[in-house]
Chain A
């Protein structure tokens, strides 16, 4: 337990009478892809907000590599090694893909807020190029982000997150709104990172989740109702009725 890279300990968040996070405990172990699934309204977005540092929990704690980061703001958590992607692609859209990655790379360096031009620029540009090649955007490095396709932006978000050299990666619905082909490419990309970086993957696409995840936690009405390997979760009667059953019925 103590060697988890990311550990949520009984996180609780209420909005008025509504309990959106009800003593949520989840841990992401080194090397694993841990998926978090749950029907709409289960409280996934609020939970991610609490992990990333945008929403303050009412109770409970967040540990990053054994260190309590509950009181730290989002930017500090990011520098401590918690990288994330957003549900709706969030990138700096008026600059090139490369510049987005350079921002991430520079964030780790001591001169990240130097108020005068910095002469290490070329080295960063090259490293950014390498990162972009990694996610298949090598030839798109100098394109302005607003002209990239949806899938390309997804990949770019991954590249920027990886450039932070994070201890853990938080993926907020990386497949949302992505077409089938691009979706396949991103799944492959995420799968390729297995073992390199532990991930907490929040995703609606069940095929992708069951293909990628080493373990799955199921969030229903703010509470974790099951955690286990994909086959354990698939077999869990509680999950079937609360979640999968609904999905089946809906189809």
Chain B
């Protein structure tokens, strides 16, 4: 029984981690390469979710809405990059924080204005409803498996693109030496417009995918954004590989921590104390993990630029 719970929660943690990866992937590249801090990335996640939730009834269900949400979040990413981010490259981090913070306020409130403050729920698409028996007694929702599949698939695709195409090569080269790449006649800015927009779409994709399992509400992107930051810092700013590993690590630690911290504590302290302290400790787990990693490696697991 307890093994089943562990297995289910591990899968849930994996699913959560993969969603975090989708949000963090594009962001870490932009941070690493442009030395740009974008607080407004979380709104892309929220917009992906809202577009899916709102369009679903009109677009023939979840999949139709998803198909529309992807290009729309890509377009929104392009627009934001063009209007707000681009003038901020090369400016101080303070300007970037303020402007992108402003964007969050606008979009969060704008969503409230347009769709109301009440959470919207989206039914699980019929095709992916129900549960499957993974092993004896281990029942897992098909939809969550689908998310894991989609996350892994996207990760693989990303890896193929970054590692195997000319575009990916330029992004990697740009990450280590932007002036060099522009000396080769490549428009680095256009390259990173593409990365930003593509990253926005990935975040939108993550937001769309979670609509059937989470409630869609204003500000839902903020928490995810901060978790994505933890992922990026732990993985090493600018490292896709680091973001992938860190996302899985954080997804697992957070999910397992929340389900088992209290039980584990009960082995050490009295049950009432464990019940009191457990949830607080569980909510600290990933930050403590971050602190631990950074204490040993200030540049994260895969520092892309050496400090020295």
Q: Does A49 contact B (CB under 8 A)?
A: yes
Count of A-B contacts judged by CB separation below 8 Å: 4
| CA of A226 to CA of B31, assembled, Å | 45
CB-nearest residue of chain A relative to B306? A15
Q: Does A54 contact B (CB under 8 A)?
A: yes
Residue numbers in B under 8 Å from A49 (CB-CB): 308
**Chain A residues with a Cβ closer than 8 Å to the other chain, count:** 4
| CA of A54 to CA of B307, assembled, Å | 9
Mask for B172-212, Cβ within 8 A of A = 1, else 0?
00000000000000000000000000000000000000000
| CA of A49 to CA of B308, assembled, Å | 8
| CA of A49 to CA of B306, assembled, Å | 13
Residue numbers in A under 8 Å from B308 (CB-CB): 49, 54-56
CB of A100 to closest CB in B, whole Å: 23
Which of B262-308 touch A at CB < 8 Å?
Answer: 308
| CA of A54 to CA of B306, assembled, Å | 12
CB-nearest residue of chain B relative to A46? B308
CB of A174 to closest CB in B, whole Å: 22
Residue numbers in B under 8 Å from A55 (CB-CB): 308
CB of B104 to closest CB in A, whole Å: 32
CB of A104 to closest CB in B, whole Å: 24
Residue numbers in B under 8 Å from A54 (CB-CB): 308
Residue numbers in B under 8 Å from A56 (CB-CB): 308
CB-nearest residue of chain B relative to A13? B308
CB-nearest residue of chain B relative to A55? B308
| CA of A55 to CA of B308, assembled, Å | 6
Which of A13-51 touch B at CB < 8 Å?
Answer: 49
CB of B304 to closest CB in A, whole Å: 15
| CA of A54 to CA of B308, assembled, Å | 6
CB of B128 to closest CB in A, whole Å: 46
CB of A184 to closest CB in B, whole Å: 33
| CA of A189 to CA of B308, assembled, Å | 31
CB-nearest residue of chain A relative to B308? A55
CB-nearest residue of chain B relative to A54? B308
| CA of A55 to CA of B306, assembled, Å | 10
CB of A115 to closest CB in B, whole Å: 25
| CA of A79 to CA of B308, assembled, Å | 21
CB of B298 to closest CB in A, whole Å: 13
CB-nearest residue of chain A relative to B307? A54
CB of A74 to closest CB in B, whole Å: 11
CB of A43 to closest CB in B, whole Å: 14
CB of B306 to closest CB in A, whole Å: 8
CB-nearest residue of chain B relative to A50? B308
Mask for A53-82, Cβ within 8 A of B = 1, else 0?
011100000000000000000000000000
CB of A155 to closest CB in B, whole Å: 28
| CA of A212 to CA of B204, assembled, Å | 64
| CA of A56 to CA of B306, assembled, Å | 12
CB-nearest residue of chain B relative to A15? B306
| CA of A29 to CA of B59, assembled, Å | 82
Which of B141-169 touch A at CB < 8 Å?
Answer: none
CB of A85 to closest CB in B, whole Å: 19
| CA of A184 to CA of B308, assembled, Å | 33
| CA of A56 to CA of B307, assembled, Å | 11
Q: Enumerate the 3 nearest inter-chain pairs by beta-carbon distance, A residue then B residue, closest first.
A: A55-B308, A54-B308, A49-B308
A–B pairs, 4, beta carbons within 8 Å: A49-B308, A54-B308, A55-B308, A56-B308
